[in-house]
Every structure is written in structure tokens, then in C-alpha cells.
Structure 1
Amino acid sequence: MFLSTNKLKTLRNENGWSQEVLAKVSGLSVRTIQRIEADGKASAESTLAIASVFNLSPKALQATSNEIEVSWTREMIMKNLIALIIISSAIAMLIYLGAGTHLYLDAASALYIVLFVYAATIITYGTEGFFKSITSLKYLFTDEIVGGSQAKYLAALYQSQVTYLYGGAFLGLLIGAIAILGNIDTYENFVFLRASAVNLIVLFYAALLSEAIIRPLSIKFKTCDIKQ
């Protein structure tokens, strides 16, 4: 089960106990106490031992429905990091094989899509919601999450950002298409094709951010409690 690491640390500090003291009075090892305070995972026996020390029920130490409790392990972090590297490498390989990387670099398109998502998120979820979407990117590197209402909130937030990304890209494509078609008489065939290709870059950035980062996070938070 998952214990609230915040509750455990608060209770220990309120009693003026170090991890070593808590380990001694609970009959557990210092390493066990350190691990539980780090990732919240505890066996039923360890939970009962700690709860009895503080004269609480084991349920009182568990993470509440509002908290996000995560198990961080080096193996899990490395596994998810390698997966992200594989995705990035696959995309980079396709870009390299398809054309020169310079064709995919457009600062104006990147800035536009980022600012669009930033503004839309703040309008919908407020400044705090936007900063939560940034700080919660760390959850890409773990699989074991107990989230409750906070996880549901982040799932909805990230799903909204997927919509904003593609919505912003669609608007960018429309504006670009109108600009290109409105000046078609002034273009040579090569220039027309080049302008059309550049117009697709905003959609490329939107898809890259959405499918490689934002949507996986949304699904992870949406299903985290189902997997427990």
C-alpha cells in the first residue's frame, strides 16, 4: 500500500524524532524507514508497526484521495528515460532520412505553438494550473502513481493541452494557407511548394509535443488508480 510521505515526515518531526529513532521504536530498520519516506510504499506489517507507534490506525497513514503519491526507483526512471530516448531517436532518424534537419527548424512556429498553449491553459486553469502542468512533467519517469482527485485534475489538464496544441496548429495552418493562397500569383512553383512545406511545421511541433509528451502523461494520470 501507499502511505502519505508528507504525513509520515510531519508526524516524525512533531515528535522530534530522527529516522533512526522512528526505526528503533517501530522495530523496523532505518533503511526501511528511509525507503517508505522516499516512495511511500510499505508492506502491511510495516504500516501497522509505524501506525502503532503514533497511536493511529493504518488507514490514517495512507495517502488521501487528494494527494499524488509516487514510487521513484532508479530502474523505473531509467526505463522511462530510455523509452523517451528511443522515441526521440526514431523521430530524429526519420527527419534525417527525410530531409535536412534545417527544414524542421522554425523559431516562429515553435514560439507560436508554445505561447498558444500557455495562454489557453491559463485562461482555462489559471496560472497555477499552467505551472502544475510544467512541474508534473517529472511523472513521465515513473509508472507507480496513486493519484486520486489530483491525478484526475492533471489528466483533464493535459488532455486539454492536447486539444490546444492541435487547435493552435489548425489555426496556424489556416492563417498560413490564406497567406499563401492570397499571394499565389506572386509565387514561382518552387516558392509555392516551399511555403506550403513551411506552413506544415506548426502542425509538426504540435504533434511532437502532444504525442511524445502530453498525451502519454494524460493517459498515465487517467489510468494510474485503475492499475492499483
Structure 2
Amino acid sequence: MMQEAVKSMVSPTKLKSMRVENGWSQEKLASITGLSLRTIQRIEKEGKCSVESKLAIAAALNMTPSELLHDYPEKVGDGTLNYGGIVGLLSILGLFSLLVAWEWKNPEIFINPMNALFIGLTVFGLSMMSSGFQATVNALGTVVWIFKQPQDQLLAQAHLPVLRRVLVYCYTAGVIWTLTEVVEAGFYGSQTSNNSMSLNDILFSMQSLLYAVMLAEFLIRPLINRITWLLSRQD
């Protein structure tokens, strides 16, 4: 009986924090889980729920049910190196270098510092507009955690909402600058004798989107997952 009671408990603080990190209201969480608003409100207040409700909430938040039982640790990280992160980065850089070397006669196919700068500055600017300068700098500064754990870092979870917005802004920047380059290619194509732009122009315009996706999936998402992993450790 006692075991069943433990299974039907969640941390109200953890649940509310995770809901806020996802940018969801209680109504939104209720809609996603199929639970009533009153049930969500009661769980966030008392921490008591049925096993079915706990499973539904955990699935919506992309967590294991056991993670909902524990509050975030006060401090995370022991300052050790993450060799997996180092090897992973070197592997990705090695693959990208191999790709560029394959096209050594035309490296500009994949290397365009100006496009990369536009993507980076756009993402940084959008994040500052929504989260503020200091929060953005602090959140992006956690990128070193992929390679080396912080030392007794306080409130590591505070960076997650910022980084989740940055993830969205990566795709926003990619779409915006890709469309901009398509419009530009179309304009200059209209000035040619055949009054059209080539398929090569359109494909080359997607370089910005490629950079945006690489930034999102090779850096920001692994960073979010890294912080989430550190916060999930209960040792």
C-alpha cells in the first residue's frame, strides 16, 4: 500500500517548473495530457495523483515518471571532464572537414562565413529581445558544460527556458535568411536575359537554413539535453 502511494506522488515544484520551462499554462498541460484543469491544479498544489495521471504528465513533458518525483537538485556538476562530449565534437568536426575536403575545388559550397555570421547574430538578437542580455549570455555560456561539468552550479534549470527559445530562433533565423536569399536571387535573375533564376541559385540559397539546423541540432539541442541530464542525476 505504501509503495502504491509513492508511485502516485509527484513533486509540485518540479511539475510547475517543467510546465513553465515548456511555456505551457495549466490549461495547455491539461489539454495535452487529457486531464482536467482542476486535476492539474490539484496535482501542482498537493503533489498527489493517480498512476495514470502521472504517466500522462510524464509523457507530455518527455520525462520518466520517476523524474517527476524529485525536485531539481540545488547544485549540479562536479567539475569533471566529459570525454564523450569532446569525442563527439571531434567526430562532428571530422565529418564536416571530410565533406569540405571532398569538395575541395569549391569549398564555398559549405563554407560561407557571412551566412554563418547572419544566422548567429540573428539568433543572439532574438534571444536578447525575449530573454534579456544577461540571461542570453549566461545560457549560451553553458556550452562549455558539454565538455566539462560545472562545479556545484546553482539554479542550472534557469537556463533551460532560454535555450529552448534559442532552439526555436535557430530555425526562425534559417527560414528568414533563406527566404531573403531566394528573393535576392529572384531579383537578380529577373535582370538576366532569360528573366529567371536557376535551380542552383535556389539550392545555394538554402545554405543559411543548413547553418541554422546545424547550430540547432549539433549544439543547442545537445546542450539542452546535457543540462537536463545533469539535473536528472540524484546522486
Give the TM-score category using the shorter length: 0.5 to 0.7
Identical aligned residues as a percent:
17
Q: Could you tell me which residue of structure 1 aligns to residue 206 of structure 2?
A: 200
8 Å Cα contact 1:169-1:206 kept in structure 2: yes
* SS of residue paired to 1:105: coil
Partner of 1:111: 117
Q: List runs of 5+ in structure 2 lacking aligned partners.
A: 1-70
Q: Is the 8 A contact 1:169 1:203 kept in 2?
A: yes
Q: Normalised by the size of structure 1, how large is the TM-score? A: 0.60
- The 8 Å contact of residues 77 and 230 in structure 2, kept in 1 or not, is answered as no
* Alpha-carbon distance between aligned partners in 2 of 1:177 and 1:96, rounded to the nearest angstrom: 27
* Amino acid corresponding to residue 146 of structure 2 in structure 1: L
Higher helix share: 1
Q: Which residue of 2 aligns with 1:153?
A: 158
CA drift of 1:187 comes to 4.3
Q: How far does the alpha carbon of each residue in 1:58-113 deviate from its partner, in whole angstroms, 9 at most, with x for none?
A: xxxxxx9685431223xx43332111101111222233335632322223212211
Q: Secondary structure at the match of 1:224?
A: helix
1:216 to 197, 216, 222: 222
* Residue pairs, 1:142-181, within 5 angstroms: 142=148, 150-181=155-186
SS at match of 1:225: helix
Check if 1:184 corresponds to 2:189.
yes
d(CA) in 1 for partners of 2:134, 2:73:
16
Q: Which residue of 1 aligns with 2:86?
A: 81
Counterpart-to-counterpart distance in 2, 1:221 and 1:180: 41
The aligned residue for residue 70 of structure 1 is 77
Amino acid at match of 1:118: F
Instruction: State the Cα distance separating 1:126 from its structure 2 match.
Output: 0.7
SS in 2 for 1:171: helix
Structure 1 match to 2:99: 94
Task: Report the Cα offset of residue 215 of structure 1.
Answer: 0.7
Give the aligned CA root-mean-square deviation in angstroms: 3.0
**Is the contact between residue 66 and residue 147 of structure 1 (CA under 8 Å) also seen in structure 2?**
no
Question: What is the distance in 2 between the residues matched to 1:195 and 1:129?
Answer: 38
Determine if contact 1:71/1:142 at 8 Å carries over to the other structure: no
Residue deviations 1:157-180, cap 9 Å, x none? 112111101101101112222222
Distance 1:98 1:156, change over 3 A: farther
Change in 2 beyond 3 A, CA 1:91/1:68: farther
- 1:41-80 to structure 2, matched below 5 A, reads 68-73=75-80, 76-80=81-85
8 Å contact from structure 1 (residues 145, 225) kept in 2: no
Return the alpha-carbon distance in structure 2 between the equivalents of residues 219 and 109 of structure 1. Answer: 27
User: Which stretches in structure 1 are left out of the alignment for 5+ residues?
Assistant: 1-63
Distance 1:146 1:212 in 2: 26
Relative distance call for 1:208 and 1:188 in structure 2 (3 A) is farther
Larger radius of gyration: 1
**Pair 1:105–1:202, CA change in 2 (3 A):** same
Q: 1:79 to 1:157 in 2, by over 3 A?
A: same
Structure 1 residue 119, shift from structure 2 partner? 0.9
Structure 1 residues 24-35: aligned runs within 5 Å: none
Whether the 8 Å contact between 1:113 and 1:206 is mirrored in structure 2 is: yes
What does residue 125 of structure 1 align with? 131
Change in 2 beyond 3 A, CA 1:68/1:192: farther
| Count of aligned residue pairs for this structure pair | 162
